[in-house]
């Protein structure tokens, strides 16, 4: 027990979900993961223990204050859950998202300057330029999968801003490989008998091939940069030129793990958040009209300095991430017998913080299912209880890219909405596909409507 964080001895056993003794709610977890999370948040609004497949003790938290304990105040008693650590390891290796303790601390310190406020501001121009190019190429009535388009755009942005590299030609290989990796990883997590990646099942072999394709792209970029030798002042240069206390540089494998982590964590989530934002805007024309008039009032394409004049646009993006948080659950494993609130939690349980459940709690959010960006205007966000809104997590493992992502969402949304409007191709609601992140099932099929307006977006 970490003395600094040990509370007085917890007294209460965890409430347990009864029924389905053998498999627990595994069937629901496989078929309707989000529905299960939302149902449990209603029946057990704070914490509940259940078992699932071979995981005997799974603890689900839907309370902001208990989430704050796990992620922040008592985080020393927890590491990341093995699901992510084992099943995503072939892709992410020992990069920032999956590493622990000293390795994590060192790498987080090393990468921090790339995410400092001033540096991020300098990325805004690239974000705006790339988005403008995408939006300007859309024609009236064009059908497109907005989820896929956002994936390409955010990948292009992360490639250019963090790695000073053009990755457009690699987007297909990366997109396909990433989807395969997440499907296999999530399929294994929801399986009765998960097969770790080293077992050569057909699924795992497909996974291995997908990772090999990703590796080809990343190692090629590393090779080119090592050969060039110059310090371009981007993240890749930081990684290639970093030296530890003994003066040793990072191996190709270490550079690959960090680069892969940033490339993947840095585009997938933002793309999903944007796809859901366009979905919600299409279903709420009054919100869309208000956002467009804020953007039109600028009279020109938005730049970094204009962002402060677009508070409603940012509120739209934040509210979309409340209803559809890309990282909808966060997993941890206690490394010792410990407590959460007044409940005893056993070492090696799987603790899942339900971001989705917390974001729709009726005691925190009035009329929680309603899409209402006003919730994020003025001082209202500051008045929320700690961890009531946490699309980026909390505590020392909070998303390193959170300011990057918020700015990117803000810029992309404003730049696109000035030129085009996306309408849904079908009236049927889009289903959720909760892989590691919350994706729209089968994509987000929409039709582009080019806007003509006084702001003069179009000639």
By CB under 6 A, name the binding residues for ligand HEM.
80, 96-97, 108, 158, 261-262, 265-266, 269-270, 273, 326-327, 330, 391-393, 397, 399-401, 404-405
CB of 357 to ligand HEM, least distance (A): 14
Find all residues with CB under 8 Å of 7, minimum gap 6, and list them: 74, 339
Nearer to ligand HEM, 48 or 85 (CB): 85
Tokens, residue 313: 């646009």
* Min separation Cβ 200 and ligand HEM, Å: 29
Query: Considering the complex, what minimum distance in angstroms separates the CB of residue 159 from ligand HEM?
Result: 11
Any residues with CB less than 8 A from the CB of 287 and at least 6 apart, and which? 280, 281, 316, 371, 373
Task: Specify the residue, 109 or 382, whose C-beta has the smaller distance to ligand HEM.
Answer: 109
Of the pair 17, 238, the CB lying nearest ligand HEM is at 238
Q: How many CB atoms lie within 10 A of CB 237?
A: 18
Report which of 419, 416, 414, 425 is spatially closest to residue 142, judged by C-alpha positions: 425
Which one, 326 or 455, has the nearer CB to ligand HEM?
A: 326
CB 239 to ligand HEM: min, Å: 13
194 or 331: whose CB is closer to ligand HEM?
331
Residue 359 main-chain phi, psi, to 5 deg: -70, -10
Whether the Cβ atoms of residue 178 and residue 154 lie closer than 8 Å to each other? no
Residue 325 CB contacts under 8 Å (≥ 6 apart), including other chains: 355, 356, 359, 390, 391, 438
Distances in Å between the Cα of 279 and the Cα atoms of 34, 138, 158, 324 are 18, 18, 23, 11
Which lies closer to ligand HEM via its Cβ, residue 99 or residue 338? Answer: 99
- Shortest gap between Cβ of 262 and ligand HEM (angstroms)? 5
Can you read off the two tokens belonging to residue 85? Answer: 């650590």
Rounded to the nearest whole angstrom, what is the least distance from the CB of residue 350 to ligand HEM in the complex?
13
Residue nearest to ligand HEM (CB): 401
Structure tokens at 420: 């085009």
């Amino acid at each position: 027990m970490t003395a600094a964080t040990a509370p007085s001895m917890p007294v209460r056993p965890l409430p347990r979900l009864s029924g389905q003794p053998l498999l627990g709610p595994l069937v629901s977890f496989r078929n309707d993961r989000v529905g299960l999370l939302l149902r449990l948040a209603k029946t057990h609004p704070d914490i509940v223990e259940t078992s699932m497949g071979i995981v005997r003790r799974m603890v689900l938290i839907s309370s902001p204050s208990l989430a704050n304990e796990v992620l922040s105040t008592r985080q020393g008693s927890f590491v990341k859950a093995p699901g992510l650590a084992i099943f995503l390891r072939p892709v992410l290796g020992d990069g920032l998202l999956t590493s622990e303790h000293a390795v994590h601390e060192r790498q987080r310190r090393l990468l921090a300057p790339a995410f400092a406020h001033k540096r991020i501001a300098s990325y805004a121009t690239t974000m705006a330029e790339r988005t403008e190019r995408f939006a300007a190429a859309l024609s009236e009535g064009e059908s497109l999968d907005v989820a896929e388009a956002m994936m390409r755009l955010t990948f292009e942005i992360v490639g250019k801003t963090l790695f000073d590299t053009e990755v457009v030609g690699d987007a297909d290989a990366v997109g396909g490989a990433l989807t395969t990796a997440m499907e296999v990883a999530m399929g294994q997590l929801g399986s009765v008998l998960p097969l770790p990646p080293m077992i050569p099942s057909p699924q795992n072999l497909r996974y291995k091939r997908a990772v090999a394709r990703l590796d080809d792209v990343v190692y090629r970029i590393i090779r080119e940069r090592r050969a060039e030798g110059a310090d371009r002042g981007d993240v890749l240069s930081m990684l290639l030129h970093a030296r530890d206390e003994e003066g040793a540089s990072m191996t190709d494998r270490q550079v690959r793990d960090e680069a892969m982590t940033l490339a993947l964590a840095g585009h997938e989530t933002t793309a999903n958040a944007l796809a859901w934002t366009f979905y919600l805007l299409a279903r709420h024309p009054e919100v869309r009209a208000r956002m467009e008039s804020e953007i039109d009032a600028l009279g020109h394409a938005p730049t970094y300095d204009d962002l402060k004049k677009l508070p409603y646009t940012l509120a739209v993006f934040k509210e979309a991430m409340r209803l559809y948080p890309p990282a909808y659950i966060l997993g941890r494993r206690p490394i010792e017998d410990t407590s959460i609130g007044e409940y005893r939690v056993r070492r090696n349980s799987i603790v899942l913080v339900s971001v989705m459940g917390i974001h729709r709690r009726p005691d925190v959010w009035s009329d929680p299912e309603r899409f209402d960006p006003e919730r994020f205007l003025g001082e209202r966000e500051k008045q929320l209880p700690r961890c009531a809104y946490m699309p980026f997590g909390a505590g020392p493992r909070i998303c390193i890219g959170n300011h990057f992502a918020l700015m990117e969402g803000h810029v992309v949304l404003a730049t696109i909405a000035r030129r085009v409007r996306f309408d849904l191709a079908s009236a049927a609601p889009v289903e959720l596909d909760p892989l590691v992140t919350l994706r729209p099932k089968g994509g987000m099929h929409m039709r582009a409507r080019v806007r003509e307006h006084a702001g003069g977006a179009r000639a």
